[in-house]
Amino acid sequence: MSTPETSRFVRLRVELVLEVHDQDEVAKAALRRLAADPELPAEERTQAEGAVTEDTAEALAYLVDPFDLVSEVPGVELQQASWSSEHIEYDPDSPDWDLDGDDGEDDDEEDDGIG
């Protein structure tokens, strides 16, 4: 009897909703991170600095790094990541924001072990 092979790749989906209390502090933190990045070309740095000072969502996208989330997890290596940030309307009492609820995405794949 043989056991089916399981893929060693895992897709981890995370959704966060953050309440920003101090937009200036978020922008300053993003600017500090940009300033500390020696590999960022000057032209890209200038564009990024403008983006993070004008838009808190952009600043958060610079501060929240998927690599940071998994870099300390033993036995794994980040292969690919993408993330975005956007301003939203949020109502914690709305059923649309039930994080424990079924979102309907990829149910068939997860149920039958494919994915």
pLDDT in tens, 14-62: 888 999 999 999 999 999 999 999 999 999 999 999 999 999 999 999 9
Quick check: 46 and 64 in contact, CB under 8 A?
Answer: no
| Residue 109 predicted with pLDDT over 70 | no
The whole-angstrom separation of Cα 56 and Cα 6 is: 40
The whole-angstrom separation of Cα 11 and Cα 33 is: 27
Q: Is residue 87 part of a domain?
A: no
Q: Is residue 106 part of a domain?
A: no
Q: Is residue 12 part of a domain?
A: no
Q: Is residue 109 part of a domain?
A: no
Q: Lowest-confidence range among 17-26, 73-82, 104-113?
A: 104-113
Whole-prediction pTM: 0.70
Please state the domain count of the chain.
1
* Owning domain of residue 26: 19-73
Quick check: 30 and 24 in contact, CB under 8 A?
Answer: no
Q: Is residue 10 part of a domain?
A: no
Confidence of residue 93 (pLDDT cuts 50, 70, 90): confident
